[in-house]
């Protein structure tokens, strides 16, 4: 039986394609048919000659039986008292009323687009309708439905919800998979995963063998991964005519998607929401008896200025948005029961408001308020709390990022506070600089936020900005593919063998600027991932195996080659999670001082390594939390680093760079100069020169001129940096250009490690490096460089 099960798993995928011809699976008589005369009983199975025809019939028989079992199980649940109750609940959702129309459309069309208001039951119901109808049609064992979510937290929470609606535990017919975590069993037929996970599967399985339905959720968000996935799926559809693609959107602008897929059918699920009373800032001020100051223009500080002026008592405020929201929470009149959902810009605002409210509780009593946060990087245990209803007399307040706009629905929300902003990445292609700024949201987002108040009863929404600001909002947000650097995307295109990068991206729903594409290709050439002809180099191929940005992948690979993996694993993991060094607003100096105890060597990256190693030692004595508390470190990030290290290590073991039998990473003792060189190798060409004057030093990059360090960088506290260069992880334009996480490196490190080891493009790198050296006028090192380049030129010519 064990053997059979394995064969079943393997052949199941193969057969599911064959058997999903639209006439349906073989009927009951098929399983008893004995056309080849070879299969009569299960016992007979083991004696059969291994002819393909007979094993195919065996497999079909097994799958048929399995499908019957699944149907019986589903029917039993639906007829049980709990199942009936659950069904009743589900029937009340608007999506349920469209069930038949949806299923008919999906069976008749290869692509269907479904739009419907948030909370109408798209995510939890539609994948389930498909699963149920497949199981009812006795195709349960051969169907395989994948539903992608833009965020980990929604994949996890939705799968749990759907499993419970089916009276099952996670990992039975419903599962999920996100990076580092997953719950999926042999019988999982409906898998919720992040878009990134599906893209990684496409790397090894171009045709999505065995998958019967792909559902791409939240397409209205226009995330880069989703836009990319749509191009890939559009190409895949003709190769897999029986595959069904369902796109789901929370807004009505489905025309764009429909015409992209050759006038695909659109189905709209009419939603129902209770009326929501809307207040803009002027109304809030009126309610609270504040005098209104005329205000007509959008500016970043307008909100704060207006609020301050109207109270005629300006206070010194540190986090503007947290202060505005705090005041509003105290001023607004929340009549009757119901949770309050507050939209903030990001984790730092949420934290800062949380601190304010701890110091100065609402209602004067913290036991009457349940304060929760909801953002993308929270732990799974925290997530569940936001869905629970609080005890009587306790007010639940959820401080959320725009994640609660459409992907997460909290049932008992009656009041919404909308700060009007969201952190948005943008990309300045001309200066090749990414920016991350809280910016005003779009009209559609504001409407979504408002809608969250009217789900269970009439609600109220307080927009904490004036109506004239709302009127000037853009209709929709710019798609991510048009506002972020494209390096990882370009590498993915190459690794999926999708041909010319610019030709491929020109087929996107909305194509990115040519300059942005060229910058990304240029970067990939500089770091040695692509050769002159835009083909993947060996390094590039290795980089695609690692689910991190190319620069971090490079560090891992060279760390493995140079036998100093342990600290490199920590650095790369640390850069992939939320900054573990916390800087609370009111304890900024203390926090920065705590960070500098970890630094003796002008490197944020090495400070991270020390902090992690200290934590690891403390953890052994169960003192990890204390250690984090004392040192202003995030225990959550430390734990995430710990598990990422393991993940990256096992991925590296899958490559041939780390001995497959190794169980420990390289020794803990390491040469710091070597690590510095590895960091330089990874971060190049993120380099800036250190120019000393009498008192301090200036930093300059070739593209931006003078740049600044984030105040929490260990280098920002140094009076002098005895090195000529800093390599940095990231530069972001806020008002000036700021560098985040930097490490000082010497001339020779830059010379030897600033570039790539890849032969084909070595010449190009040296030319580029030469440009840097010349630009910053380092004659001695430039001479050495020319000498080296001369030798290398010769070497390249002779080879």
Which residues are at the interface with Mg ion (CB under 5 A)?
122-123
Cα end-to-end span (Å), the chain: 58
The first and second tokens of residue 9, run together, are 């798993």
Query: Cα–Cα distance between 552 and 575 in angstroms, integer?
Result: 8
For the beta carbon of residue 265, count every other beta carbon within 10 angstroms. 15
Among residues 64, 74, 119, 327, the one that binds ligand CDP under rule CB under 6 A: 119
Q: Which stretch binds ligand CDP (CB under 6 A): 115-123, 289-297, 366-374, 534-542?
A: 115-123
Q: Does 123 bind ligand CDP (CB under 6 A)?
A: yes
Q: Which is nearer to Mg ion, 268 or 588 (CB)?
A: 268
Q: Say whether residue 682 binds ligand CDP (CB under 6 A).
A: no
Sole window of 57-65, 113-121, 435-443, 526-534 interacting with ligand CDP (rule: CB under 6 A):
113-121
Whole-number minimum distance, CB 480 to ligand CDP, in Å? 20
Q: Which of the choices Mg ion, ligand CDP, none does residue 121 contact, using the CB cut-off of 5 to 8 A by kind?
A: ligand CDP
From the list Mg ion, ligand CDP, none, which binds 743 (C-beta under 5 to 8 Å, kind-based)?
A: none
Cis peptide before 685 (omega within 30 of 0): yes
C-alpha pair distances (Å), 516 with each of 196, 487, 528, 771: 22, 9, 19, 22
Query: What is the number of other CB atoms lying within 10 angstroms of the CB of residue 105?
Result: 19
User: 494 touches which of Mg ion, ligand CDP, none (CB within 5 to 8 A by kind)?
Assistant: none
Do 161 and 223 form a contact (C-beta atoms < 8 A)? no
Q: Strand pairing partners for 331?
A: none
Handedness of CA 175, 181, 186, 189 (dihedral sign): positive
> Taking CB under 6 A as the criterion, which residues in 533-572 touch ligand CDP?
none
Question: Could you tell me the smallest distance in angstroms from the CB atom of residue 403 to ligand CDP?
Answer: 12
Q: How far is the CB of 91 from ligand CDP (least distance, A)?
A: 12
398 binds ligand CDP (CB under 6 A): no
Answer yes or no whether residue 625 interacts with ligand CDP by CB under 6 A.
Answer: no
Question: Binding partner of residue 93 among ligand CDP, Mg ion, none, CB under 5 to 8 Å per kind?
Answer: ligand CDP
Position among 188, 225, 409, 729 found at the interface with ligand CDP (CB under 6 A): 409
Shortest distance, CB of residue 508 to ligand CDP, whole angstroms? 25
**Smallest gap, in angstroms, from Cβ of residue 226 to Mg ion?**
13
Give residues 136-175 in contact with ligand CDP (rule: CB under 6 A): 157-158, 161
Least distance to ligand CDP from the beta carbon of 124, Å? 3
Residue carrying structure tokens 């806020």: 734
Which lies closer to ligand CDP via its Cβ, residue 157 or residue 212? 157
Residue 124 interface partner, choices ligand CDP, Mg ion, none, CB cut-off 5-8 Å depending on type:
ligand CDP
Token output for 18: 């064959």
User: Is residue 604 within 8 Å of 715, Cβ to Cβ?
Assistant: yes
> Which of ligand CDP, Mg ion, none does residue 383 bind to, with CB < 5 to 8 Å depending on kind?
none
Contact between 120 and ligand CDP per CB under 6 A: yes
Given Mg ion, ligand CDP, none, residue 140, with its beta carbon under 5 to 8 Å by kind, binds none
The encoded tokens of residue 259 equal: 């015409």
| Stretch in the footprint of ligand CDP (CB under 6 A) among 119-127, 185-193, 251-259, 608-616 | 119-127
Burial of 393 (0-12, 13-18, 19+ CB in 10 A): exposed
Instruction: Work out how close the CB of 126 gets to ligand CDP at its nearest, in angstroms, rounded to a whole number.
Output: 8
Closest approach of Cβ 66 to ligand CDP, in Å? 28
Distance, CA of 709 to CA of 715 (rounded, Å) = 8
Least distance in angstroms from the C-beta of 122 to ligand CDP: 3
Per CB under 6 A, contacts with ligand CDP among 217-236 are none
CA torsion sign, 56 to 59 to 63 to 65?
positive
Burial class (CB in 10 A: 0-12, 13-18, 19+), 255: exposed
| Rounded least distance, CB 636 to ligand CDP, Å | 22
* Alpha-carbon dihedral sign for residues 286, 289, 291, 297: negative
Q: Which is nearer to Mg ion, 122 or 166 (CB)?
A: 122
Q: Closest distance between ligand CDP and the C-beta of residue 151, in Å?
A: 13
Query: Which helix (H) or strand (E) is 605 found in, with range?
Result: helix 604-620
Long-range contacts for 157-163 (Cβ within 8 Å, ≥24 apart)? 157/383, 157/384, 157/387, 157/408, 158/123, 158/124, 158/192, 159/183, 159/191, 159/192, 161/124, 162/124, 162/127, 162/128, 162/190, 162/192
In the complex, what is the shortest distance from the CB of residue 663 to Mg ion, in angstroms, rounded to a whole number?
42
Look at residue 193 and give the partner it binds from ligand CDP, Mg ion, none, a contact being a CB closer than 5 to 8 Å depending on partner kind. Answer: none
Range in contact with ligand CDP (rule: CB under 6 A) among 123-131, 430-438, 529-537, 603-611: 123-131
Judged by CB under 6 A, which of 74, 110, 124, 445 binds ligand CDP? 124
Q: Which residue, 93 or 505, has its beta carbon nearer to Mg ion?
A: 93
- Closer CB to ligand CDP, residue 12 or residue 119? 119
**Residue 93 binding ligand CDP, by CB under 6 A:** yes
Q: Does an H or E element contain 721, and which?
A: none
Q: Cα(574)–Cα(571) distance, rounded to whole angstroms?
A: 5
The minimum distance between CB 406 and ligand CDP, in angstroms, equals: 6
Task: Give CA 605 to chain center in angstroms.
Answer: 23
* Residue closest to Mg ion (Cβ): 123
For Mg ion, the closer of residues 178 and 329 by Cβ is: 178
| Token digits of residue 751 | 């010379």
What count of other Cβ atoms lies within 10 Å of the Cβ of residue 146? 20
Identity of the residue, 90 or 443, whose beta carbon is nearer to ligand CDP in the bound complex: 90
Residues composing the chain:
799
Smallest gap from residue 176 Cβ to ligand CDP (A): 12
Is 454 a binding residue for ligand CDP by CB under 6 A? The answer is: no
What would the two tokens of residue 689 be? 């020169």
Quick one: what does residue 20 bind among ligand CDP, Mg ion, none, with the CB cut-off 5 to 8 Å set by partner type? Answer: none
Among Mg ion, ligand CDP, none, residue 748 binds (CB under 5-8 Å by kind): none
Q: Residue by residue, what is the 3-state secondary structure of 649-713?
A: HHHHHHCCCCCCCCCCCCCCCCCHHHHHHHHHHHHCCCEEEEEECCCCEEEEECCCEEEEECCCC
Instruction: Using the minimum distance from each CB to Mg ion, give the nearer residue, 93 or 111.
Output: 93
Angle, helix 380-387 to helix 152-165, in steps of 10 degrees? 60
Q: Which does 16 bind (CB under 5 to 8 A by kind): ligand CDP, Mg ion, none?
A: none
CB nearer to Mg ion: give 123 or 254.
123
Backbone dihedral region for residue 336 (phi beyond 0: left; psi -120 to 50: alpha; all else: beta): left
Nearest-approach distance from CB 416 to Mg ion, in angstroms: 18
161 interface partner picked from ligand CDP, Mg ion, none, CB below 5 to 8 A per type: ligand CDP
Cβ count near 528 (within 10 Å): 26
Residue 116's binding partner, choosing from Mg ion, ligand CDP, none, with beta-carbon cut-off 5 to 8 A by kind? Answer: ligand CDP
- Closest to 135 measured CA to CA, from 218, 71, 187, 193: 71
* 574-589 per-residue burial string, b: 16 or more CB within 10 A, e: under 16: bbbbebbbbbeeeeee
Number of residues binding to ligand CDP, judged by CB under 6 A: 16
In whole angstroms, the minimum distance from the beta carbon of 192 to Mg ion comes to 11
Q: Which two tokens stand for residue 745?
A: 């490196």
Q: Quick one: which segment of 114-122, 170-178, 519-527, 682-690 binds ligand CDP (CB under 6 A)?
A: 114-122
Distance (Å, rounded) from C-alpha 400 to C-alpha 373? 6
- Rounded to a whole number of angstroms, the minimum distance from the CB of residue 159 to ligand CDP is 9
Residues within the interface to ligand CDP (CB under 6 A): 93, 116, 118-125, 157-158, 161, 387, 409, 411
């Amino acid at each position: 039986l064990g053997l059979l099960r394995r064969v079943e798993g393997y052949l199941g995928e193969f057969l599911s394609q064959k058997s999903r011809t639209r006439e349906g699976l073989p009927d009951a008589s098929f399983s008893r048919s004995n056309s080849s005369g070879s299969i009569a009983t299960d016992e007979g199975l083991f004696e059969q000659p291994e002819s393909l025809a007979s094993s195919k019939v065996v497999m079909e028989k097994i799958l048929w039986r399995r499908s019957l079992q699944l149907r019986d199980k589903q029917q039993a649940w639906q007829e049980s008292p709990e199942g009936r109750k659950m069904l009743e609940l589900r029937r009340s959702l608007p999506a349920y009323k469209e069930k038949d129309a949806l299923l008919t459309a999906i069976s008749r069309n290869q692509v269907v687009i479904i739009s419907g208001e948030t909370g109408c039951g798209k995510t939890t119901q539609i994948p389930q309708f498909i699963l149920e109808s497949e199981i009812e049609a006795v195709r349960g064992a051969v169907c395989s439905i994948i539903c992608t979510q833009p965020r980990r937290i929604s994949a996890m929470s939705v799968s749990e919800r759907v499993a419970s609606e089916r009276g099952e535990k996670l990992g039975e017919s419903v599962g999920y998979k996100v990076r580092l975590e997953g719950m999926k069993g042999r019988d999982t037929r409906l898998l919720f995963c992040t878009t990134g996970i599906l893209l990684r599967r496409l790397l090894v399985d171009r045709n999505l063998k065995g998958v019967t339905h792909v559902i791409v959720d939240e397409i209205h968000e226009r995330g880069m991964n989703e836009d990319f996935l749509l191009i890939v799926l559009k190409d895949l559809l003709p190769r897999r005519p029986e595959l069904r693609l369902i796109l789901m959107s929370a807004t009505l602008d489905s025309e764009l998607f429909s015409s992209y897929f050759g006038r695909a059918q659109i189905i709209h699920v009419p939603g129902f929401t209770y009326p929501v009373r809307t207040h803009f800032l002027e109304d809030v001020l009126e309610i609270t008896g504040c005098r209104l100051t005329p205000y007509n223009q959008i500016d970043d500080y307008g909100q704060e200025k207006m609020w301050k002026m109207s109270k005629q008592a300006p206070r010194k405020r540190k986090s503007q948005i947290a202060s505005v929201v705090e005041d509003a929470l105290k001023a607004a009149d929340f009549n009757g029961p119901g949770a309050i959902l507050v939209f903030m810009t990001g984790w730092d605002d949420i934290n800062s408001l949380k601190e304010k409210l701890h110091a100065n509780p609402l209602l004067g009593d913290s036991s009457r308020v349940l304060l929760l946060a909801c953002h993308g990087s929270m732990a799974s245990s925290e997530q569940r709390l936001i869905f629970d209803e609080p005890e009587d007399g306790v007010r639940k307040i959820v401080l959320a990022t725009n994640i609660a706009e459409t992907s997460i629905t909290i049932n008992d929300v009656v009041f919404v506070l909308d700060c009007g902003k969201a952190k948005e990445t943008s990309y300045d292609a001309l200066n090749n600089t990414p920016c991350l700024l809280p910016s005003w949201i779009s009209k559609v987002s504001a409407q979504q936020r408002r809608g969250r108040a009217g789900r269970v009863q009439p609600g109220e929404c307080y927009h904490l900005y004036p109506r004239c600001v709302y009127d000037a909002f853009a209709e929709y947000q710019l798609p991510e593919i048009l506002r972020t650097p494209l390096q990882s995307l370009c590498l993915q295109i190459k690794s999926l063998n999708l041909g010319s990068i610019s030709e491929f991206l020109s087929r996107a729903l909305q194509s990115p600027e040519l300059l942005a594409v060229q910058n990304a290709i240029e970067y990939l050439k500089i770091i040695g991932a692509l050769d002159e002809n835009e083909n993947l180099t060996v390094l590039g191929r290795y980089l695609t195996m690692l689910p991190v940005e190319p620069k971090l992948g490079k560090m891992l690979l060279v760390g493995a080659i140079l036998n100093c993996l342990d600290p490199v694993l920590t650095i790369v993991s640390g850069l992939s999670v939320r900054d573990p060094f916390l800087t609370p607003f009111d304890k900024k100096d203390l926090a920065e001082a705590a960070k500098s105890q970890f630094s003796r060597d002008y490197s944020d990256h090495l400070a991270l390594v020390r902090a992690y190693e200290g934590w690891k030692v403390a953890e052994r004595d169960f003192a990890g939390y204390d250690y984090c508390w004392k040192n202003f470190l995030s225990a959550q990030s430390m734990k995430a680093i710990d598990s990422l290290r393991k993940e990256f290590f096992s991925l590296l073991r899958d490559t041939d760079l780390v001995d497959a039998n190794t169980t420990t990473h390289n020794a803990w003792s390491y040469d710091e100069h070597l690590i510095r060189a590895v960091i330089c190798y990874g971060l190049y060409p993120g380099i800036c020169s250190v120019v000393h004057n009498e008192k301090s030093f200036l930093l300059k990059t070739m593209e931006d001129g003078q740049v600044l360090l984030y105040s929490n960088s260990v280098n920002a506290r140094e009076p002098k940096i005895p090195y000529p260069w800093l390599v940095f992880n990231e530069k972001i334009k806020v008002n000036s250009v700021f560098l985040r996480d930097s490490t000082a490196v010497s001339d020779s490190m830059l010379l030897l490690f600033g570039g790539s080891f890849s032969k084909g493009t070595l010449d190009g790198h040296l030319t580029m490096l030469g440009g840097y050296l010349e630009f910053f006028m380092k004659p001695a090192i430039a001479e050495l460089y020319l000498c080296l380049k001369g030798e290398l030129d010769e070497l390249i010519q002779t080879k």
